[in-house]
Amino acid sequence: MKIAITSNGKDLCSEISADFSSADYIILIDTSYLGNFIPIKNHHKHRIYDAEIFGALLIISYDVKKVYTGYCSQNGLRIFNRAGIKVINNSYGTIEDNLHKLNRDDFNLVQSN
């Protein structure tokens, strides 16, 4: 399964971003092989309007099934929900730490849709 994690940096040691629309990067990870990840620069974060909508559309184009972020607004949640993508809000810490939790089946953060 492909997941996306919003991030303040482009590697697995980076912190999960507190807000979806202001994330510097979106890290794409295939959970079948956690060592394989792709950092995508979030060029939409500087938009005055609709940064979250354009970011959501970018993630949808990569066939992601879940998104982990600090906070995603209702606009982003509606788009993800229509695309069948689960959003996990209240994610925090480093990506690497959270992936270890995922491996232990205890990546149970608050699900928002």
78-99 tens-digit pLDDT: 999 999 999 999 999 999 888 8
- What is the spatial distance between Cα 32 and Cα 90, in angstroms, rounded to a whole number? 24
pLDDT at 18: 95
Which of 13-22, 40-49, 64-73 has the least mean pLDDT? 40-49
- For 23, 35, 46, the CA distances from 43, given in Å and listed in that order, are 9, 25, 7
pLDDT at 111: 47
The more confident residue out of 29 and 34 is 29
Strands 25-30 and 86-88 turn out to be unpaired
Evaluate whether 94 touches 41 at the Cβ level (below 8 Å): no
pTM of the shown model = 0.86
Count of C-beta atoms within a 10 Å radius of residue 55: 28
Evaluate whether 107 touches 98 at the Cβ level (below 8 Å): yes
Structural domains present in the chain:
2-103 (3.30.420.130)
pLDDT bin (cut points 50, 70, 90) of residue 51 is: confident
pLDDT at 101: 75
